[in-house]
Chains A and B, each alone.
Chain A
């Protein structure tokens, strides 16, 4: 069964450092998302991406965050200068098309720890 894969599974970084989280969405999917989940809290939407541009972003997704699809398969989330409060699980998701109500498939997540 096709799945969304994320690397690394765990990333430890020093405060102020840049970090890049990587995702390989399901191959025929066109819509990509990043979500985050702070320990013990709800899953929060960060950004959606379609046709090589951001479709929508939440207030969490400030200037420190950026997304990119550098090639035909990878979808990345970059945090330029990490803060302690960026520590969370980051989930990538993808869906088949921009049509209504298509299922979003989630990856297994990257646990980011900022020290």
Chain B
């Protein structure tokens, strides 16, 4: 089955710096790659996603890149702010319907220091 590896497990940056989190996946049939942010005591919240027919997607300070050949995808956060501090999870899926379950990475705890 699918396996998702995520690095680093912890990341500390100064406010205003960029943060990059990387994930690799094993199953070439995966075609949907969401990123979730989890704040303390809350459920995961989708912040951005990318599908296999796209190489890069950007939403304000957040961008995600996908390299299907290498089977890896990355989350880039620019101009980080203290409120970006949270645990970030990448995930992979083979799409909706009966294959819609998400396989998550282990998470990255991001700390943004003021």
Contacts of B97 in A (CB 8 A): 31, 50, 55, 98-100
| Docked-complex contact A108 and B98, CB < 8 angstroms | no
Q: Are A100 and B46 in contact, CB atoms less than 8 angstroms apart? A: no
A102: chain B residues at CB < 8 Å are: 96, 100
Interface residue A18 (Cβ < 8 Å from any Cβ of B) = no
Which residues in chain B, 8-52, are within 8 Å of chain A measured between CB atoms?
Answer: 31-32, 34, 36, 41-46, 49, 51
Task: Write out the residue numbers on chain A whose beta carbons fall within 8 Å of the beta carbon of B34.
Answer: 103-104
Could you say which residues of chain B place their CB within 8 Å of the CB of A58? 101
Contact B96 A43 (CB under 8 A): no
Query: What B residues does A25 contact at CB under 8 A?
Result: none
Give Cα A35 to B104, complex, Å: 10
Cβ of A43 and Cβ of B93 under 8 Å apart? Answer: no
The range of chain B's interface size is 20 to 34
Contacts of B49 in A (CB 8 A): 101, 103
Cβ-defined contact, A31 with B96, below 8 A: yes
Tell me, yes or no, whether A97 is within 8 Å of chain B by CB: yes
User: Does B63 lie at the interface of the complex (its beta carbon under 8 Å from any beta carbon of A)?
Assistant: no
Residues of chain A within 8 A of B73, CB atoms compared: none
Residue of A whose beta carbon sits closest to that of B43: A106
> CB distance B101 to A48 under 8 Å?
yes
**A105 interfacial by beta-carbon distance below 8 Å:** yes
Seen from chain A, the residues whose Cβ lies within 8 Å of a Cβ on chain B are 4, 31, 33, 35, 41-45, 48, 50, 55-56, 58, 91, 95, 97-109
